[in-house]
Amino acid sequence: MSFKVLIANRGEIALRAIRACKELNISTVSVYSEGDKDLKHLKFSDETVCIGPPSPLESYLNTPVILSAAELTQVNAIYPGYGFLAEDSNFAEMCEKSGFKFIGPTSETIKNMGDKITAKTLAEEAGIQIVPGYKEDIPDDEEEFKKIAKDIGYPIMIKATAGGGGRGMRVVEHEDDLISHAEITMQEAKNAFGNEKIYLEKFIANPRHIEVQIVGDGKGHAIHLGTRDCSMQRRHQKIIEEAPARNINKDSLNKTYEACVNLCKKIKYEGVGTIEFLYENDEFYFIEMNTRIQVEHPVTEMITGFDLVKAQLRIALNMNISLNQNDIKFSGHSMECRINAEDPETFQPSPGKITKMHTPGGFGIRYDSHIYGGYTVPPYYDSLLAKIITQANSRDSSIKRMISALDEFFIEGIKTNHSLHQKILHDDTFLKNKHTINYLENEFLKNGS
């Protein structure tokens, strides 16, 4: 049987999806906004459909228009990528109802995992360690509420159950601020997510961000593909990611792997997913599960040789795939630098025309990007321009390879965070792998490194 897939995304992940489809002899339909007609992947797509004005709400988030394009081009399935509609359970449900296969888990799974309290409960039931906290309804009585917070122990974090993308979270250092902070978070959550429900978590002061990649066949079988360390972040946005995470307690890791696979088996997880943890004092604490491909998926692919995007397509389209834990072998170390169109000091977005550029290459270097010389970066979307990925025998060699790749790389015409990466790659704390999620913002950038 021949398949046709609509790619409901843009930029590098749309190109990544097309490459995977081509290898599997799947035809592609790419949708694009009026602001994106010069995107590279449109040239490689079998068909293209313009879906509306540049504003994401009118194009890449516009469910009826995307479903109409799917109907018009008679595709079998829709590939959501990351961002936009990738974790929108309503969209997945509409795909299911319209007879298009949503490439990812079921709408029910997306919904459950998108609700942070339900996700925590399911994770805990599967044996995953969660951040200590309180996930029942917040009592009306202020004294009772204060007692709950005190029992968890300050500092605590107030989180919106429908939160996402680093929004809907607030740290409370002292009891005096509890009520006001809870009220503000509820109001913000109501405005941003249409759901004001909040819960409490112990604030883990200085953890690393470690995540586990999983793959499930949707029928109750699942495997893991190891860890990634994404601790180098600013405002909860990852900047450098690596696989595997180094210096992790073996017992905790094995328990965590087992529990992650157990969760995916229990919920009959379909497709690829990431279970994210804060890691401190040798312990993993679940924070959330992302029910989609991640930006940083290449580092896992580089150390396992397992193509995660092809796996998504194969599983969704019932093509042959072997998911055998014993077949997964880990080799060496991989690192990814996210090159963003932004000022390296102020982090202000820097859209505009790329007048000239040169991309890196060579042994152990992978370059995933949709940009090219003469391309104009539009101002409407996220600022990711390119992912430079290296693979080598050790972490040190992977870093050296990245330094050399970055030396070859240049972009002219717009500002990028290229120089920030170069500085981080020479930083002693990073080289020693001693950085936590707070390091970049609280130490590195403050010290003017």
Active site residues per annotation:
292
User: Which residue of 43, 97, 147, 236 would you call a contact of ligand ADP, by CB under 6 A?
Assistant: 236
Q: Judged by CB under 6 A, does residue 276 bind ligand ADP? A: yes
Q: Pick from 204, 243, 260, 406 the residue near ligand ADP by CB under 6 A.
A: 204
User: Beta strand pairing status for 333-340 and 384-392?
Assistant: antiparallel
Q: Is the CB of 204 or the CB of 425 nearer to ligand ADP?
A: 204
Do residues 242 and 267 make contact, with C-beta atoms less than 8 angstroms apart? no
362 is a site residue for ligand ADP (CB under 6 A): no
By beta-carbon proximity to ligand ADP, the closer residue of 120 and 314 is 120
153 binds ligand ADP (CB under 6 A): no
Tell me: does residue 201 bind ligand ADP (CB under 6 A). yes
Tokens of 410: 């240049």
Contact status: 444 vs ligand ADP (CB under 6 A): no
Among 17, 18, 123, 157, binds ligand ADP (CB under 6 A): 157
Closest alpha carbon to 92 in 75, 105, 82: 105
Residue 416 is encoded by which pair of tokens?
Answer: 């990028």
Give the nearer residue to ligand ADP in terms of CB position, either 12 or 288: 288
Distances (CA, A) of 206 to 227, 244, 245: 19, 20, 16
> Is residue 114 a contact residue for ligand ADP (CB under 6 A)?
no
Residues in the chain: 449
Q: Output the six-digit token pair for 332.
A: 């060496």
Q: Per CB under 6 A, which of residues 159..188 are in contact with ligand ADP?
A: 163-167, 169
Number of CB atoms found within 10 A of residue 180's CB: 11
**Sole window of 3-11, 75-83, 121-129, 156-164 interacting with ligand ADP (rule: CB under 6 A):** 156-164
CA 148 to chain centre: 32
219 binds ligand ADP (CB under 6 A): no
Nearer to ligand ADP, 386 or 437 (CB): 437
Q: Which positions ≥6 away from 284 have C-beta within 8 Å?
A: 128, 129, 210, 252, 253, 256, 277, 278
Q: If we measure between CA atoms, which residue out of 148, 252, 240, 254 comes closest to residue 202?
A: 148
Contact pick of 94, 117, 272, 437 for ligand ADP (by CB under 6 A): 437
3-state class of 346 per DSSP?
Answer: coil
The yes or no reply on residue 273 touching ligand ADP (CB under 6 A) is no
Q: Which is nearer to ligand ADP, 18 or 162 (CB)?
A: 162
Whole-number Å distance between alpha carbons of 402 and 391: 9
DSSP notation for 21-33:
HHHTT-EEEEEEE
- Helix 308-316 × helix 297-304 angle, to 10°: 100
| Pair 16, 368: CB distance under 8 Å | yes
Give the nearer residue to ligand ADP in terms of CB position, either 291 or 369.
Answer: 291
- Cβ-based nearer residue to ligand ADP, 157 or 386: 157
Instruction: Number of residues interacting with ligand ADP: please give it, by CB under 6 A.
Output: 18
Binding to ligand ADP in span 287-346, by CB under 6 A: 287-288
Q: Is residue 110 at the binding interface for ligand ADP, with CB under 6 A as the rule?
A: no
**Which residue type is seen at 440?**
L
Q: Which residues within the stretch 19-78 sit at the binding site for ligand ADP (CB under 6 A)? A: none
Based on CB atoms, which residue is closest to ligand ADP, 66 or 232?
Answer: 232
Phi, psi at residue 285, to the nearest 5°? -125, 120
What is the nearest approach in angstroms of ligand ADP to the Cβ of residue 171?
Answer: 8
Q: Which is nearer to ligand ADP, 152 or 328 (CB)?
A: 152
8 A C-beta contact, residue 361 and residue 336: no
Q: How far is the CB of 197 from ligand ADP (least distance, A)?
A: 14
Edge-to-edge order in the sheet of strand 167-172: 133-134, 198-202, 156-164, 167-172
DSSP string spanning 157-209?
EEEEEEEETTEEEEEE-SGGGHHHHHHHHHHHHHHHHS---EEEEE--SS-EE
Shortest distance (Å) from residue 289 CB to ligand ADP:
9
374 binds ligand ADP (CB under 6 A): no
| Shortest Å distance, C-beta 287 to ligand ADP | 4
- Secondary structure (3-state) at 148: helix
Task: Answer yes or no whether residue 131 interacts with ligand ADP by CB under 6 A.
Answer: yes
Using the rule CB under 6 A, give the single segment among 35-43, 157-165, 180-188, 400-408 that binds ligand ADP: 157-165
Taking CA 367 as the corner, what is the angle to CA 4 and CA 61, rounded to the nearest 5 degrees? Answer: 45
User: Which residues contact ligand ADP (rule: CB under 6 A)?
Assistant: 131, 157, 163-167, 169, 201, 203-204, 209, 236, 276, 278, 287-288, 437
